[in-house]
Amino acid sequence: MHNFLQQLPKVELHLHIEGSLEPELMFTLAQRNGIKLPYSTVQEAKDAYQFSNLQGFLNLYFQGMSVLRNEDDFYDLAMDYFKRARGEGVVHIDMHFDPQAHLQRGLPLEEVMSGLLRAKQEAEETLDLSIGMIMAFLRDRPADEALHVLEQAAPYWKMIDAVGLDSAEIDNPPIKFVDVYQRAKELGFMRVAHAGEEGSASYIQEALDQLEVTRIDHGVRCLENTALVERLCREQVVLTVCPLSNVSLNVVENLRDHPLPQLLAEGLKVTISSDDPAYFGGGMLANHFACAEAFGWGEAVFRQLTRNAIEEAFVTEERRIDLLARLDAL
């Protein structure tokens, strides 16, 4: 099974590039930029990667990204993950990035975008890896700020595939961002949103009805509402589930308790992603291995999960056909 999962042409729909910052690279960038970290060693930083909830993680997440200061830093961040993921058999990544988190720190949007887009181009040219770009808004920041950032990104609209919504879910319902998503729709962007991780199933419903999203990031709490499950199944709305992330943030206590098998049994269109791999126990391969062990899944289940992801990925149709052919040939 391990050999099969390594060779599987994996497609990741839910990856936060800032959450791929490994402690080793954090120390390298801190030294390069003259930043003093609150850790004396790489191991000490790794030991700090323990959280009781989403907010505890976010505090460390934003602290970690303080080492990102210029275009080269964002390039190094992205290429480090792209190479690591490709080594695990990943062939496509839909990558969330958080411009507000960097604008707040006084970094120009151009530094962020130039570094990420340079890495995307190089990865696509040299690694046999395709990259989708999801510009995510921080839901615990004002909605008018998100709208301003969307307009500010005008020079890059052609390079961005979708907009997303992430960060602290509690008390930040999707409806807060209706105007932002309406503008994104007018501009022709695909629309996705985190919902039903910490927030209730009603947040999933709201994201579908008010933001008109085509993809729900996480969505595991949909099972609280039978009518919602039926709708998600009927409309085949993809759920980008992140198993090891859910364990790390205590959405579930143990992976064996995870609702993934039930989501599949309900006929929902589920995929597997890593979310923030540096903080949550590993990338795509680790998540696949963990699910195989916890649920006893065979090849057929992983083939279906991968097919779901390929069908929903932000790729050209030519690339989608190629990836499906690779899956069928395995």
As annotated, the active-site residues are: 197
In terms of residues, how long is the chain? 330
Cα–Cα distance list, 238 to 123, 159, 293, 319 (Å): 26, 23, 24, 19
| CB 300, CB 327: distance < 8 Å | no
Residue type, 298: G
- Label residues 201-230 b or e (16+ Cβ within 10 Å = b): bbbbbbbbebbebebbbbbbbbbebeebbe
How many whole angstroms separate alpha carbon 34 and alpha carbon 319? 42
Cα–Cα distance list, 230 to 59, 174, 201, 249 (Å): 36, 21, 13, 27
* Tokens representing residue 148 in the block: 């301003």
* Segments of the chain assigned E as strands: 10-16, 90-97, 130-138, 162-166, 190-195, 215-218, 238-241, 269-272
**What is the end-to-end Cα distance of the chain in Å, rounded?**
13
Give the alpha-carbon dihedral of 176, 180, 186, 187, to 10 degrees.
-150
Residue type, 53: N
Closest Cα to residue 63, out of 17, 8, 18, 4? 18
- Label residues 31-56 b or e (16+ Cβ within 10 Å = b): eeeeeebebeebeebeeebebeebee
